[in-house]
Chain A
């Protein structure tokens, strides 16, 4: 099967991007340098094509009740024009995907799934929708993200981009809150702008019709040039999210992992209730309720490298013997890279609970060589303002 192409494919080619297959799509891995793109997002701003993400519209009279049933979060309580990070779990509590739900109307939401999981999420949502008066349908749209401390200034300076306080109830770029969204306009066309992202910086995600994606991409790049905006690829996106301690499906999350093990227990709302005050039997509830207080077999931790060599996904985490040699295996690395911002290797790993305390000195088997790592709290990086 050939990879799909986003509406911005020709733009990436023209910029000389190094492309890669990701989740069934051809996506830019980097344009010039992973490190330069990463640093631009931390210091100025980066422009990402995220059109591979799966947008699924959910609307109808039962939309809120349906999402309370289908997802682990209390989605009916999300206010109009607000967003919520959530998960869709299987009956056994395993994570099928992590996603963001945006409420764009009283009975209108859209769900953003990971590219590789879009079909699974769409299939599961449709299956779970049987008893509800709701429509679940994929949405054809392009998604562009401007991420970084200069993002707001850049959007404000973008030709053709306008706030729409009439449609948004007075929401502007300035007062748009983190994890909120608002309708705005690009060249007269309605777009949705979310103050969300996957980089640990301030920033916006903009859903635009596929036909207007190239125009918006170019307008943003033109406006952003003087602010230091550069196009940024998946490689920078991955190192940015890792520094910010954000999980990536397929690495920290998968069907064998519950939200509790991943340190994401807060997204599971076992306290959701039906209209008559009984516990709401959402999909996965029973399994998750029994797993909640059971001692976990493994815990997700942050690891800081004390040497120079980064750990990579799949490498063994081992006990550190007194002489620095490798001891018994106590876990596995799920993501790892040299942190461009911090200057030392960082990694996330699942380890057994007895070695998960902050400050525990461990090691990672880096291709036969034992490299020292120490358990540190997540995230590795937090923006200052």
Chain B
């Protein structure tokens, strides 16, 4: 089982976000495992203004598609081109090489601690 770093915050929709500036966003190993092999990732564009709790992209696996929710509000400053080119990184390295995008944060919604997230996901 993957370790859920206490330094990160999580959403009930299975995204994680760190407390750096700009903040980095990804999906959790739990979500990656449930999705299976990721084959396509659609991310917001650099410069886009996003609002927490809204759909900002898609993660598509061999079997299904799921929506990507913004864990925070702000402006997208960077997207991970490596994950667009090689979507399998989302599954193989969800906390590291499989990060999705970075945001200049202007506000957040409800975020969970690692402990709360694990309880929520039943991990």
Q: Label chain A's interface by main secondary structure.
A: mixed
CB distance from A81 to the nearest CB of B (A): 37
Judge whether B19 is part of the interface by a CB distance below 8 angstroms.
no
Interchain CB contact under 8 A, A367 and B58: yes
Choose one: B33, B62, B91; the contact of A338 (CB below 8 Å): B62
User: Which residue of chain A lies nearest to B61 when distances are taken between CB atoms in the complex?
Assistant: A34
Q: How large is the interface on A (under 10, 10 to 19, 20 to 34, 35 or more residues)?
A: 10 to 19
Q: Which of A45-53, A103-111, A304-312 contacts B (4 or more CB under 8 A)?
A: A304-312
Chain A positions 160-184 with a Cβ under 8 Å from a chain B Cβ: none
A338 to B91, CA, bound (A): 17
How many B residues touch A, CB cutoff 8 Å?
14
Interchain CB contact under 8 A, B63 and A367: no
A34 to B91, CA, bound (A): 12
Interchain CB contact under 8 A, B36 and A33: yes
User: Which residue of chain A lies nearest to B84 when distances are taken between CB atoms in the complex?
Assistant: A308
Judge whether B39 is part of the interface by a CB distance below 8 angstroms.
yes
A235 to B34, CA, bound (A): 12
Against B, the Cβ 8 Å flags (1 = close, 0 = not) of A306-324 are 0011101000000000000
CB distance from B1 to the nearest CB of A (A): 11
Against B, the Cβ 8 Å flags (1 = close, 0 = not) of A14-34 are 000010000000000110011
For A340, list chain B residues within 8 Å (CB).
62
Judge whether B37 is part of the interface by a CB distance below 8 angstroms.
yes
Judge whether B65 is part of the interface by a CB distance below 8 angstroms.
yes
For B33, list chain A residues within 8 Å (CB).
18
Judge whether B60 is part of the interface by a CB distance below 8 angstroms.
yes
Judge whether A35 is part of the interface by a CB distance below 8 angstroms.
yes
For B62, list chain A residues within 8 Å (CB).
34-35, 38, 235, 239, 337-338, 340
Interchain CB contact under 8 A, B40 and A235: no
CB distance from B94 to the nearest CB of A (A): 14
CB distance from B28 to the nearest CB of A (A): 16
Interchain CB contact under 8 A, A309 and B63: no
The 24 sampled A-B contact pairs (Cβ below 8 Å) are A18-B34, A18-B36, A29-B36, A29-B63, A30-B36, A33-B36, A33-B37, A34-B37, A34-B61, A34-B62, A34-B63, A35-B37, A35-B62, A38-B62, A235-B63, A238-B63, A239-B62, A309-B40, A310-B40, A310-B60, A337-B62, A338-B39, A338-B40, A338-B62
Using a CB–CB cutoff of 8 Å, the interface residues on chain A facing chain B are 18, 29-30, 33-35, 38, 235, 238-239, 308-310, 312, 337-338, 340, 367
